[in-house]
Amino acid sequence: MKKLNLINIQVIALVILFITFGFFSYGLAAAEKYDFANSSGLNATGVGAGYSTTAVSPEVIVGRLIMTILSFLGVAFLAFMIYAGIVWMTAQGNEQKVEKAKNMITESIVGIMIVVAAYAIAYFVISYFSATVLMT
């Protein structure tokens, strides 16, 4: 009885296995025949909208990431300058606060000069190695 039960379980497992492989092989055959991007008009729509349909290389992705980070540093410069201006305006004649605001403005200007230099160097190096325009 036990041996018969074990054979039944093995037969059922094999049937389930063959059915499963049958479904998977049908899905693979269907995937080879149908190309969603081209058949649905998605590529034509993307090209018409001005997007590139080619894959982006890793150096372009890294370059865009570096440019984005440097752009956010420019926004941080603006925030520091606004904060320093508020500190200076609300100093009410307190020389320590005025000096603190002047130092913040000086440090912010030096920081933005470093960021602009890094931006220029990164743009040159990345555009040299990727041979593509980064901002498109």
Per-residue pLDDT tens for 34-84?
666 666 777 777 778 877 767 777 777 877 888 888 888 889 999 999 999
User: Does residue 34 fall inside a structural domain?
Assistant: yes
User: Does residue 53 fall inside a structural domain?
Assistant: no
Q: What is the pLDDT of residue 91?
A: 93
Are 115 and 75 within one domain? Answer: yes
Are 33 and 11 within one domain? Answer: yes
Q: Who has greater pLDDT, 33 or 113?
A: 113
Over residues 5-38, the pLDDT tens digits come to: 666 777 777 777 667 766 666 555 555 666 666 6
Are 67 and 123 within one domain? Answer: yes
Q: What is the pLDDT of residue 23?
A: 60
Query: 131 burial class (0-12, 13-18, 19+ CB within 10 angstroms)?
Result: exposed
Are 36 and 85 within one domain? Answer: no
Q: For helices 95-130 and 58-89, what crossing angle results, to 10°? A: 170
63-81 burial, b for 16+ CB within 10 Å, e for fewer? beebbeebeebeeebeebe
User: Does residue 105 fall inside a structural domain?
Assistant: yes
Q: What is the pLDDT of residue 124?
A: 84
Are 120 and 63 within one domain? Answer: yes
User: Does residue 29 fall inside a structural domain?
Assistant: yes
C-alpha to C-alpha distance for 115 and 108, rounded to whole angstroms: 10
Are 70 and 94 within one domain? Answer: yes
User: Does residue 38 fall inside a structural domain?
Assistant: yes
Domain enclosing residue 14, as ranges: 2-48
Q: What total number of domains does the chain contain?
A: 2
User: Does residue 115 fall inside a structural domain?
Assistant: yes
Are 43 and 92 within one domain? Answer: no
Are 32 and 82 within one domain? Answer: no
**Cβ contacts of 123 within 8 Å, gap of 6 or more:** 67, 134
Q: Who has greater pLDDT, 50 or 107?
A: 107
User: Does residue 122 fall inside a structural domain?
Assistant: yes
Are 64 and 99 within one domain? Answer: yes
Question: The whole model's pTM is what?
Answer: 0.52
**Cβ contacts of 120 within 8 Å, gap of 6 or more:** none
User: Does residue 124 fall inside a structural domain?
Assistant: yes
Q: Looking at the chain, list the stretches that DSSP marks H as alpha helix, in order from N- to C-terminal side.
A: 2-33, 36-39, 42-48, 58-89, 95-130
Are 99 and 119 within one domain? Answer: yes
Per cent of the chain over pLDDT 70 is 73
Q: State both tokens at 62.
A: 């890294």
